[in-house]
Amino acid sequence: MSESGLERTTETRLLPASNHPGAGDGLLSPLLSVERLEVQFRAKHGAVRAVNGVTFQVSSGEMLGLVGESGSGKSVTSLAIMRLFPRDGSVISMGRVWFDGQDILSIPEPAMRRLRGRDMAIVFQNPMTSLNPTMRVGLQIAEILMVHEGLGRRQAFERSEALLQMVGVPAVHESLAKYAHEFSGGMQQRITIAMALALQPRLLIADEPTTALDVTIQAQVLDLIRERAAETGMAVVLITHNLGVAAGLTQRIAVMYAGLLVEVGETRSIFASPRHPYTVGLLGSLPRADYHRVKLTPIPGMPPVQVEEPKGCPFAPRCARQISVCSTETPALRSMGRQVAKPSRAVPNTCSHLVACHNPVPTEETPLMPLGSRRD
Amino acid sequence: MARYIARRLVLMVIVLAGMSVLTFLLTHLVPGNPAKLMAGLHATQAQVDVYTRRYGLNKPLPVQYWRYVTGLTHGDFGTSLTTQRPVAEDLKQFAPATAELVFAAMVLTVVIGVPLGALSGLFHRSWFDHSTRVISVAGAAMPAFWLGMILQVVFFAKLGVLPVGGQLDILSQSPPTITGMVVVDSLLAGQFTVFRDALLHLILPAFTLAAGGIAIVTRMSRGAMEDTLETDFIRMARAKGMPELRVVGRHALPNALTSTVTVLGLQVGALFAGTFLVESVFTWPGIGLYAVTGIRDQDYAAIMGVTLLIAITYCLANLVVDVIYALMDPRITYAGT
Amino acid sequence: MDLTSVRPPDLAMIDTPYRRLASTLGGLIRNPLSAIGLSLVVLFVVIAVFAPQVAPQDPIALDPVHRLLPPGIHHLFGTDENGRDILSRVIVGTRLSLLGAAGILMIGVVIGVPIGLLAGYAGKWIDEILMRVTDIFLSFPSLVFAIAVAATLGPSIRNAVIATGVVWWPWYARLIRGEVLKLKHQSFVEGAKILGAGSLRIMFLHILRNSLTPLIVQVSLDFGYAVLTLASLSFLGLGAQPPTPEWGEMISAGQSYYLTQWWYVTFPGLTILVAVMAFNLLGDGLREVLSLGRAR
């Protein structure tokens, strides 16, 4: 078992970025703490495990990237945090999600409803379908202020106008009276961001906020999110399948695969020395201007659909570094780098580089080493 | 919007012209002498000749059609054999009763069908949903004339709580004719006992006429509600912390209703067709009963007059429904076809 | 998430008509509602075929002594004003109702399918004209138009079937035209063209064969409605004429008696209700099974 990376210290600075004062000292508890979250979808014959025990934290002012392929469970995780599953018992969430000191998986629905939109907000992937097609956008923003703040119609619309101004929608007054289809995709997403930010939430979940948009618009929308986060100090969970999107914005990145976290660490650390073969593969399928020597390498195969309790590493069938133990034991997240704060005292994986792998990639290997394919 | 309606009206004129061709061909090309058909089975040769001359039945078909159409545009639907009056006058007399019945049935269809379907979609797979589905499956298969008879047996013959037919009790004095609709007229005249009597007479026929439509509308709005509740914008409304009542009532319902409205247009046609059956069961003095009497007396002018009137009303109703639909769904632009 | 869809496609299931029929039936039986529909339809068909043998009594012979008897051991559905057994008349009427409905749909298909094929395949002004004509037919509420046609043709069951069929075809023309437009530019049609197949051959062999499934689904969904329409025409005196036993005609004949002799119209009506429901359930089930089969 090659664990040469364990002894080495990563060369990146492990302290979080400067606008993130409290995360590293172990005294301030994180705003959001997800502990052993499991989500199962009831199907006709048994259950599909979408999330299989995920643990991570986000502090105020921090931006965490939750990265993985579609089907990795990252969006399901965000819906679980917001408790947005249908209430017919077809989806079960287990574990704990601490938000501001209370376990929001167990609070009653009315209390949860008051948190949604006020303290925690979400921006979805497709702005066209996220906006109600038959309601003027002004009311869609204003109703948040009316319901949560008890504002009158007039005041609510005045504030909505200011919100639209803030997110950069032109001709705000006229825009209030328009319908969603009268805006471009980028403007629609700005409107949903205005809705999310209406009450200055402490946590914003952005679920693939730019995937449905034109490439030229993507950067603008990401800039807007970064700008608002920096100004208000809210925590942001940025969900994306694109490590490149996460690279420029986040302080930390958590990589998900088949409902499990496979690698968590500071963004720089992840990019400088990815340790999980899957993360290496994700980086390999990323086009980047500053690397010219390798061609894009897709990861062969598809993420599995989890029906039974996972046995062995879920990535093993697609992994070039597979060893015998991989098919029998599911690897746990373990620290790979020097720790700034001891995990027992503080939040366990806020500031260390954690990897769930029996045979992690040694640090000296370049992140862009093409993955060997076991199938083709 | 005005241009959209204008274009729809032009299209409607084309359709109406086509309809007049169809009804013309029906009465002029069927086996047998159309003059004989118009004059009635037991007419003498002299009477037949009168019709032949009056309608130019010895002239070529296009000429006959032209006469027929110009007659129609002047409100000349021919003369009824049964009443020996111009069909147009008969229609004028009997249409209000049918309008009253169809309108009441339409209200029942919407007022019962939409909430039933919406609740069913909301409480998807609950006992309420299941029983609603059983009712709507049965309702769609119900022969309207039979349902009317069964309701008469139960509510008139057995329970004695509702009248068996007609618009008013024999002892009730008809209110002064203003709209021709007894319920409305009695209310306008302030005759509340007559109004109550008229309403009681309206309940069974209106419900009988509505039953099939209720089943269809329930089914449609259930599906629409179910689909709408699974959309992203409903998830978004919940993510914004909107109370469930607002999520359902203000976000889901209006969107679900938009797709239900299109079905209502088709229902208008079904309701008019149903008047033939329901009016004859309840001896409701409308155009349906007039046509059914016409069938028994082989009064072709009457039957064609009613058919055309219903077809025109149906076209107009669909136009109205399309306009309502366009108003409800801002995504519809009037520029497209 | 349906886990069964994860299974690899079973190659053996594809393409033999017998297997396809078997799997369709299997799909129908698995859904309790369509299973009920299917068994009721089979029952009605069996009754229709063996009506004279199944009927306990002569449906036409008069028996004035036993007139208007309520339901009892000897007459499960009671008797009518001429002492005829209502059950026997309902049983014998099954044949006429089912045959009539089948006739309506057949006329609809025979007129509608070629028109739809032609409109879709020829396109341009032929399509335009045919579709406008279709629209005009569809601008009449169908039952109203059927009544008008039937009334002109004269009251008889044959004329009622013809009238309703003539009103029915536009729906099939529209359906088939839509299918043709979908299939027209698919590779197997283009291939047949390159190989020199004639237009007629392409239309009827290649395109029609591939639009059969939606047509079958639509026809099965319509069957119940055809039964209902025919009964309605008979009720108005435009269909079967007395003393021929037919469901709608029986209810029409009972109009003078039902308020005091409730059974007279109750049982024929219930039979219509059950039959239409059975065909509707079967049609719904077929739609689900066949469209699922196509989607896979």
Q: What is the pLDDT of residues B58-109, one digit of tens each?
A: 778 888 888 888 888 888 888 888 888 999 999 999 999 999 999 999 999 9
Q: What percent of chain B has pLDDT over 70?
A: 94
Tokens of C33: 């509602």
Q: Which residue has the tokens 């009441």?
A: B104
Task: Indicate the average pLDDT of chain B.
Answer: 87
For residues C164 and C233, what is the distance between their CA atoms, to the nearest angstrom?
9
Task: Identify the CATH class of C32-58+72-295.
Answer: mainly alpha
Arithmetic mean of pLDDT, A52-56: 88
Q: What is the pLDDT of residues A181-211, one digit of tens each?
A: 999 888 999 899 999 989 999 999 999 888 8
pLDDT of residue C193: 74
- In the structure, how many helices (H) and strands (E) does chain B have? 14, 0
pLDDT at B176 over 50: yes
Rg from Cα positions in chain C: 23
pLDDT of residue A349: 44
pLDDT of residue B337: 37
SS3 A216: helix
DSSP string, A276-315: SHHHHHHHHTS--TT--SS---PPPS-PPPP-SPP-S-TT
Where is mean pLDDT largest: A237-246, C27-36, C167-176? C167-176
Do residue A43 and residue C6 have CB atoms under 8 angstroms apart?
no
Q: How confident is the model at residue C27 (pLDDT cuts 50, 70, 90)?
A: confident
DSSP-assigned beta bridge partners for residue A37: A54
Of C140, C148, C268, nearest to B303 by CB-CB distance is C148
For residues B167 and B205, what is the distance between their CA atoms, to the nearest angstrom?
10
Hey, of C1, C4, C30, which one would you mutate to test binding to chain A, going by the most A CBs within 10 A of its CB?
C1
Arithmetic mean of pLDDT, C168-192: 85
For residues A314 and C146, what is the distance between their CA atoms, to the nearest angstrom?
65
Hey, of A39, A44, A92, A302, which one would you mutate to test binding to chain C, going by the most C CBs within 10 A of its CB?
A44
pLDDT of residue A300: 66
Q: How confident is the model at residue A270 (pLDDT cuts 50, 70, 90)?
A: confident
Q: What is the pLDDT of residues C216-274, one digit of tens each?
A: 989 998 999 999 999 999 999 998 888 889 999 999 999 989 888 888 899 999 999 99
For residues C69 and C75, what is the distance between their CA atoms, to the nearest angstrom?
8
Judging by DSSP bridges, how do beta strands A203-207 and A120-123 pair with one another?
A: parallel
pLDDT of residue C265: 92
Do residue C3 and residue A307 have CB atoms under 8 angstroms apart?
yes
Do residue C140 and residue B270 have CB atoms under 8 angstroms apart?
no
Task: Indicate the average pLDDT of chain A.
Answer: 79
Neighbours of C284 (CB within 10 A): 18
pLDDT at B40 over 60: yes
Neighbours of C223 (CB within 10 A): 23
pLDDT of residue A12: 35
A102 vs B171, higher pLDDT = A102
Dihedrals φ, ψ of C76, to 5°?
-60, -35
Neighbours of C123 (CB within 10 A): 14
Distances, alpha carbon A19 to alpha carbons A177, A230, A271, in Å: 38, 8, 20
Q: What is the pLDDT of residues C124-144, one digit of tens each?
A: 889 989 998 998 888 888 899
Enumerate the H helices of chain C as residue ranges. 17-30, 32-49, 51-54, 86-122, 124-138, 142-153, 157-183, 187-194, 199-201, 208-210, 212-235, 247-253, 263-295
Q: What is the pLDDT of residues B112-142, one digit of tens each?
A: 999 999 999 888 888 898 899 888 999 999 9
- In the structure, how many helices (H) and strands (E) does chain A have? 12, 12
Among the residue ranges A158-162, C20-24, C124-128, the one predicted with the least confidence is C20-24
Arithmetic mean of pLDDT, B205-231: 92
pLDDT of residue B271: 92
pLDDT of residue B328: 80
Cis peptide before C243 (omega within 30 of 0): yes
Arithmetic mean of pLDDT, C114-130: 89
Hey, of A132, A136, A137, A237, which one would you mutate to test binding to chain B, going by the most B CBs within 10 A of its CB?
A132
DSSP-assigned beta bridge partners for residue B86: B79
Q: What is the pLDDT of residues B132-175, one digit of tens each?
A: 988 899 999 999 999 999 999 999 999 999 999 888 887 778 88
The answer to whether the beta carbons of residues C248 and C99 sit under 8 Å apart is no
Q: Which residue has the tokens 């093409």?
A: A370
Q: How confident is the model at residue C6 (pLDDT cuts 50, 70, 90)?
A: very low
pLDDT of residue A20: 39
Q: Where are the beta strands (DSSP E) in chain A?
A: 32-42, 47-58, 63-67, 91-99, 102-103, 120-123, 203-207, 235-240, 252-257, 260-266, 334-335, 354-355
Of the candidates C49, C143, C139, the residue with the CA atom closest to the CA atom of residue C91: C49
pLDDT of residue B4: 80
Do residue A46 and residue C3 have CB atoms under 8 angstroms apart?
yes
pLDDT of residue B297: 82
| Phi-psi label, residue C246: left if phi above 0, alpha if psi -120 to 50, beta otherwise | beta
Tokens of A129: 């379908």
Q: What is the pLDDT of residues A296-355, one digit of tens each?
A: 566 666 666 666 666 788 888 888 888 888 888 888 888 875 444 344 333 444 457 888
Q: What ipTM is given for this predicted complex?
A: 0.87
Enumerate the H helices of B177-331 as residue ranges. 182-188, 192-229, 232-239, 244-246, 253-281, 287-297, 300-328
Dihedrals φ, ψ of B225, to 5°?
-65, -45
- Chain C contacts of A307, Cβ < 8 Å? 3
For residues C78 and C90, what is the distance between their CA atoms, to the nearest angstrom?
11
Among the residue ranges A136-145, A339-348, B274-283, C55-64, the one predicted with the least confidence is A339-348
Interface of B with A (CB under 8 A): 124-125, 231-233, 235-243, 246, 250-251, 254-255, 258, 328-331
* Chain B: closest CA distance from residue A22 (Å): 28
The answer to whether the beta carbons of residues A222 and A249 sit under 8 Å apart is yes
Domains of chain A: 6-119+201-288+312-375 (3.40.50.300), 120-200 (no CATH)
Q: Which residues contact A70 (CB under 8 A, 6 or more apart)?
A: A241
* Chain C: closest CA distance from residue B146 (Å): 6
Q: How confident is the model at residue B201 (pLDDT cuts 50, 70, 90)?
A: very high
Domains of chain B: 2-72 (no CATH), 87-328 (1.10.3720.10)
The answer to whether the beta carbons of residues A142 and A156 sit under 8 Å apart is yes
- Locate the chain B residue with the closest alpha carbon to A147: B242
Judging by DSSP bridges, how do beta strands A32-42 and A203-207 pair with one another?
A: unpaired
Of the candidates C260, C261, C239, C264, the residue with the CA atom closest to the CA atom of residue C249: C239
Neighbours of C156 (CB within 10 A): 15
Arithmetic mean of pLDDT, B313-326: 86
* Chain B: closest CA distance from residue A3 (Å): 44
Q: How confident is the model at residue C15 (pLDDT cuts 50, 70, 90)?
A: low
Arithmetic mean of pLDDT, B292-305: 87
pLDDT of residue C44: 95
Q: What percent of chain A has pLDDT over 90?
A: 22
The answer to whether the beta carbons of residues A122 and A82 sit under 8 Å apart is yes
Burial grade of C263 (CB within 10 A; 0-12, 13-18, 19 or more): buried
The answer to whether the beta carbons of residues A134 and B261 sit under 8 Å apart is no
- Chain B contacts of C141, Cβ < 8 Å? 268-270, 272-273, 310-311, 314
SS3 A91: strand
